[in-house]
Structure 1
Amino acid sequence: MSNKKVFIVGDKFSEFSNEKDVLTISQLELLTQIPAKIIDNEHEFIVGQGVRDDYARKVLNNHKRNQIHNNKLDLASLDKLASTSKNAHTHKKLKHNVLIGSAEKVGDTLYTLPLLIDERCELMADHQTGQHIQGMLLVEACRQTFIAVTEEFFFNGDNNKYYVINGMAVDFSNFLFPLPAQIHYDIVDQDVRQRRARFKAQIRVTQQQTLCATMEVSFTVYPSEVISNKEHELAIQAAFSALAAVHSPLQEATRV
């Protein structure tokens, strides 16, 4: 009996599931309720992008209750997603807005981590256009990457830091589809001191060895209190300048 591999994506990527060996998470939920005797092959499901972890747990619970009926369904990948923690160093409060998994150091300056998109994330809250993943999702994933890697590997998880982006350039090479993808973070230059740290890095997003997007970024990291005080001063100056630039109705009237 052959083992058929099928990708699972979030419901918002339903257009991508047409005419391919791809199911949405809702379609998989229905499949777990079908008796094994009418499923021709054993199926191994591989998690792509957009799958909600709560839906994953729901499908796994259904499968566990009905396992005697659908034991031809291999849901190990879904089980891994449901038990995998998102990256804890992205400065995001809502877990579904985190777009990356845990980082691994694979070289002196190189780190890798998986792209893990939840379809509830803020950048997919409105609608999904077409079958590929929108570019702004990749930009945000890259932004989360340089924050997460810096905080975990240079500041031992200290999140009392403020990240200032000095420059950012993004190049999109190919469409990235809602399938497994990797992010590669390579530090080009670094200058780490007690009160601030400066970095230049290249971030690449790949899928099946295909380069899909590249970000060149430079940023500076300060203790939060340093930037908070400076930001407060600048905010006051900006408010006064804006008010000074606004003419009162009486002043306008006298000019007529």
Structure 2
Amino acid sequence: MAPHDVSCPEEPCLEKPGDEAWAFTGHTRRDVVVVADRFAQFARGDRVLTMTGLLALLDADGLRAVDGHWVVHVGQGVDATDGDLLEAACDKSEGAVRLADPDTFRLPPEPPGIVHKDRPENVLLAGVHSPALTHCRAELRIHRDNELVLDHHTGEHVQGIVIIEAMRQICIAQFETAIRPGLTPAAYAGVWKRIDLSFEDFLFPLPATVESLIVESDLRRETNLKFRATTAMRQQGRTVATAGIEYSMIAQGRVDTLERRKADQATRAYLG
């Protein structure tokens, strides 16, 4: 099954506040991005800094190195705690450094249950929004301690397995937030039948969006709801990856019974 194109509004680039928001009289403005230390390979040059590097620069002694006015944008791996530290350091700069959008730094990830995870650091989505039952969109939010980035070295880009997991999570989040509230209360588990995936570009530790569009569904049996969706990951107007996905949301009790039976069969086959 070839993936379908998922249409969405063009992503905004890093917005720069106008002169009415912040005057730069007689000074040069520099926009920079801060990322978690986990993405240090991406933080080279003078446009991207790690949290440790930026905080050191904003130290009382290092502040002398700041040229003109700096506007700090959020990258991946930075959370609300980091935002508080940065905001406090910016306050000490007496106007030399400011956060582009403090609220962006504090945008929380979705609760783990929304994407069928147990640990908050493994949630990859924030700001899940469903303008329609069939269309769901969210911001990519990679925690610095996410299970998929703890032991991986690929240079400056984020590994593809993160994209795949984000696509899985957006499908689950779409079901949990837009579809399941209209069903009889029950717990469900996602069972994936097919993923037809195409990588088109690198994903970097900068803001990105992921979305899902349900193109076909079968809701006749509430214990086994079937979906076919197309998903896409986009970053600054670039399509990073697309996928056609077929999956079912099956009542948890039914999945438990089926899995237990198959696990017993597998064990007996292995032990003879």
* TM tier, smaller: 0.7 to 0.9
In the alignment, structure 1 residue 71 sits paired with structure 2 residue 95: yes
Give the distance between the partners of 1:51 and 1:85, measured in 2 at CA. Answer: 11
Give the distance between the partners of 2:171 and 2:54, measured in 1 at CA. Answer: 34
Higher helix share: 1
Taking structure 1 as the reference length, what is the TM-score of the superposition? 0.85
Deviations 1:178-202 (A, max 9, x none): 1111112111111113222111111
Taking structure 2 as the reference length, what is the TM-score of the superposition? 0.81
Q: Which runs of 5+ in 2 are unaligned?
A: 1-26
Q: Which runs of 5+ in 1 are unaligned?
A: 245-256
Higher RCO (C-alpha under 8 Å, 6+ residues apart): 2
Give the distance between the partners of 1:225 and 1:171, measured in 2 at CA. Answer: 34
In the alignment, structure 1 residue 84 sits paired with structure 2 residue 107: yes
Residue identity matched to 1:7: V
Is the deviation greater in 156-165 or in 178-187? 156-165
**Over alpha carbons, which structure has the higher Rg?**
1
Partner residue of 2:33?
7
Partner residue of 1:196?
224
Q: Within 5 Å, which residues of 2 pair with 1:33-182? A: 33-34=59-60, 39-63=66-90, 67-77=91-101, 79-88=102-111, 89-107=114-132, 109-156=134-181, 160-182=187-209
Shift of the 222–107 alpha-carbon distance from structure 1 to 2, 3 Å rule, reads closer
Partner residue of 2:56?
30
Shift of the 214–93 alpha-carbon distance from structure 1 to 2, 3 Å rule, reads same
Shift of the 133–217 alpha-carbon distance from structure 1 to 2, 3 Å rule, reads same
- The alignment yields a C-alpha RMSD, in angstroms, of 2.2
Is the deviation greater in 221-230 or in 83-92? 83-92
Question: Identity across aligned pairs (percent)?
Answer: 28
Q: How many residues align?
A: 240
Is the deviation greater in 195-204 or in 11-20? 11-20
**What is the deviation of 1:207?**
1.0
